[in-house]
Amino acid sequence: MEVSSIIRTSTPCSSPTSNYTFSSSLCQSPIKIDIKHPKFRNPKPQRFRIFAVAVDPQQELPRNSPQRLLKELAERKKVTSPKKRAPPKRYILRPPLDDKKLAERFLNSPQLSLKSFPLLSSCLPSSRLNNADKTWMDEYLLEAKQALGYPLEPSESLGEDNPAKQFDTLLYLAFQHPSCERAKARHVKSGHSRLLFLGQYVLEFAFCEYFLQRYPRESPAPMRERVYGLIGKKNLAKWIKAASLQNLIFPYDDMDKLVRKEREPPVKFVFWALFGAIYLCYGMPEVYRVLFEVFGMDPDDEDCQPKLRRQLEDVDYVSAEFEGKKLSWQEVASYKPPADSLFEHPRLFRACVPPGMHRFRGNIWDYESRPQVMRALGYPLPSNDRIPDITEARNIELGLGLQLCFLHPSKHKFEHPRFCYERLEYLGQRIQDLVMAERLLMKHLDAPGLWLQERHRRILMNKFCGRYLRAKYLHRFIIYSEQVQDAYEHNRRLRNPATTAVQQALHGLSYAIYGKRDVRRLMFEVFDFEQIQPKAV
Q: Is the pLDDT of residue 506 over 50?
A: yes
Task: Answer yes or no: are the C-beta atoms of 527 and 469 closer than 8 Å.
Answer: yes
pLDDT in tens, 340-364: 888 999 999 999 999 989 999 989 9
Q: Is the pLDDT of residue 497 over 60?
A: yes
How far is it, in rounded angstroms, from Cα 110 to Cα 126? Answer: 6
Q: What is the mean predicted confidence (pLDDT) over 42-66?
A: 61
Task: Answer yes or no: are the C-beta atoms of 6 and 31 closer than 8 Å.
Answer: yes
Q: What is the mean predicted confidence (pLDDT) over 401-427?
A: 93
Within its chain, how far is the Cα of 330 from the centroid? 29
- Report residue 107's pLDDT band, with 50, 70 and 90 as the boundaries: low
CB neighbour burial string for 380-403, b if at least 16 within 10 angstroms, e if fewer: eeeeeeeeeeebeebbebbbbbbb
Within its chain, how far is the Cα of 287 from the centroid? 19
Task: Answer yes or no: are the C-beta atoms of 222 and 215 closer than 8 Å.
Answer: yes
- Report residue 480's pLDDT band, with 50, 70 and 90 as the boundaries: very high
Q: How many CB atoms lie within 10 A of CB 98?
A: 8
Structure-model confidence comparison of residues 77 and 441, the more confident one: 441
Lowest mean pLDDT among 436-440, 460-464, 517-521: 460-464
Q: Is the pLDDT of residue 428 over 60?
A: yes
Per-residue CA distances from 397 to 94, 189, 415, 510 (Å): 58, 47, 22, 12
Lowest mean pLDDT among 3-12, 48-57, 162-171: 3-12
Phi, psi of 366 (to 5 degrees): -65, -35
**What's residue 441's pLDDT?**
94
**What's residue 73's pLDDT?**
78
Q: How many CB atoms lie within 10 A of CB 323?
A: 9
Q: What is the mean predicted confidence (pLDDT) over 365-380?
A: 94
**What's residue 7's pLDDT?**
43
Helices 449-459, 422-443: axis angle to 10 degrees equals 140
pLDDT in tens, 206-245: 999 999 999 999 999 999 999 999 999 888 999 999 998 9
Q: What is the mean predicted confidence (pLDDT) over 38-44?
A: 51
pLDDT in tens, 164-209: 888 999 999 999 988 887 778 888 889 999 999 999 999 999 999 9
Helices 186-214, 260-282: axis angle to 10 degrees equals 80
Indicate the SS3 state at residue 51.
Answer: strand
Task: Answer yes or no: are the C-beta atoms of 479 and 411 closer than 8 Å.
Answer: yes
Q: What is the mean predicted confidence (pLDDT) over 512-536?
A: 85
- Report residue 491's pLDDT band, with 50, 70 and 90 as the boundaries: confident
Q: What is the mean predicted confidence (pLDDT) over 402-408?
A: 95
**What's residue 193's pLDDT?**
94
Q: What is the mean predicted confidence (pLDDT) over 103-109?
A: 66
**What's residue 463's pLDDT?**
83
**What's residue 388's pLDDT?**
87
Which residues make beta-bridge pairs with 407? 479
Indicate the SS3 state at residue 23.
Answer: strand
Q: How many CB atoms lie within 10 A of CB 457?
A: 10
Q: What is the mean predicted confidence (pLDDT) over 145-152?
A: 91
Q: What is the mean predicted confidence (pLDDT) over 400-429?
A: 93
How far is it, in rounded angstroms, from Cα 315 to Cα 361? Answer: 20
Q: Is the pLDDT of residue 449 over 80?
A: yes
How far is it, in rounded angstroms, from Cα 208 to Cα 422? Answer: 13
Task: Answer yes or no: are the C-beta atoms of 306 and 221 closer than 8 Å.
Answer: yes
Indicate the SS3 state at residue 27.
Answer: strand
**What's residue 462's pLDDT?**
85
pLDDT in tens, 59-98: 677 777 888 878 887 777 665 555 566 666 665 566 666 7
How far is it, in rounded angstroms, from Cα 162 to Cα 169? Answer: 14
Phi, psi of 7 (to 5 degrees): -125, 130
Q: What is the DSSP string of 415-470?
A: TSTTSSSHHHHHHHHHHHHHHHHHHHHHH-TT--HHHHHHHHHHHT-HHHHHHHHH
Indicate the SS3 state at residue 22.
Answer: strand
Mean pLDDT computed over every residue of the chain = 83
- Report residue 321's pLDDT band, with 50, 70 and 90 as the boundaries: confident
How far is it, in rounded angstroms, from Cα 344 to Cα 512? Answer: 6
Q: Is the pLDDT of residue 16 over 90?
A: no
**What's residue 445's pLDDT?**
86
Q: Is the pLDDT of residue 40 over 60?
A: no
**What's residue 155's pLDDT?**
85
Overall size of the chain counted in residues: 537
pTM of the model as a whole: 0.79
